[in-house]
Amino acid sequence: MKSVNRLQLERQGYCILHQRITAHRLREIQDYCSQVLTNVTDEHRAFFKAQGCIADISDYPMFADVLSDACLTKLFADLALPGYVFSSGSVISKPPMSPALFWHQDWWGWDDAISYSERILQVNLMIYLSPTNVENGCLRVIPGSHRRKHSLHGFDVAYGASMCRVENPEHPLYQSWSGEQAIEVMPGDIVVKDARLLHSTYANTSDAERTLLSLNFNPDFANLPERVQARITHIFMRDRVHKKRGGTQWLNHRRLA
């Protein structure tokens, strides 16, 4: 029988697993993330104004302790997602008084028919390090948009320098949309979302930085199509050229239900 969390992940495209990180491990993650953030440049933050920063953890081997933590093994068992591999991770930090993040989704394999199936191809685990709410820029999602059409799918612009730099803050992709759900969490909670789910964040209108650890995993890797496996490997190896090898970052919304 599928768990409640697995059913919600399938139907809504996300679930929240409460208090899965121990206090000791959470303190370690906070320390690791602080080390990463000390190396983030002003130029990086200026470019990723909408995100705050997206600092790759690949250069920080101490995160291996987090990736091998028993809590993640239990999480994937609860979600019935065996055979998973880690593909990428980053520290995402939204500074005080920073703008909303634009609406987007994280899956890159829309040129493969499997992307339009019920199969969960990639999950993003978001480990928040402080109480997170609308005021300090929590996650917001469109439940079910990983499998169903939404008006936001009609926009052909989702990524790019202009959106990251927030050159036009009035753009519809920064705004609230019907059906959005705020995801407010506490330290120790883990948000799990299907990479295809439409999501963004509210603006951080507080006077404190909001930081999280973001980890991407691909379940049942051995049974994915060969070219999808190859691109996951390119991502893991930080070969960004994979984006030029026939991949599609934005879906064909006509193929959704």
pLDDT tens track, the chain, 257 positions: 899 999 999 999 999 999 999 999 999 999 999 999 999 999 999 999 999 999 999 999 999 999 999 999 999 999 999 999 999 999 999 999 999 999 999 999 999 999 999 999 999 999 999 999 999 999 999 999 999 999 999 987 667 899 999 999 999 999 999 999 999 999 999 999 999 999 999 999 999 999 999 999 999 999 999 999 999 999 999 885 444 443 455 556 556 65
Q: What is the pLDDT of residue 246?
A: 39
Q: Fill in the amino acid letter for 176.
A: S
d(CA 18, CA 25): 15
For the chain, give every domain's residue range. Answer: 4-255
Question: Per the structure block, which two tokens stand in for 205?
Answer: 């209108």
DSSP state of 99: P
Assigned CATH topology for domain 4-255: Jelly Rolls (2.60.120)
Q: What is the pLDDT of residue 244?
A: 41
CA 193 to mean position of chain CA atoms: 7
Q: What is the pLDDT of residue 238?
A: 85
Cα–Cα distances in angstroms (integers) from residue 194 to residues 43, 141, 183, in the given order: 30, 11, 14
Q: What is the pLDDT of residue 247?
A: 46
Question: Per the structure block, which two tokens stand in for 184?
Answer: 């407010």
Q: What is the pLDDT of residue 253?
A: 54
Please give, one letter per residue, the 3-state secondary structure of 164-186: HHCCCCCCHHHCCCCCCEEECEC
Is residue 215 within 8 Å of 226, Cβ to Cβ? no
> Model-level pTM?
0.93
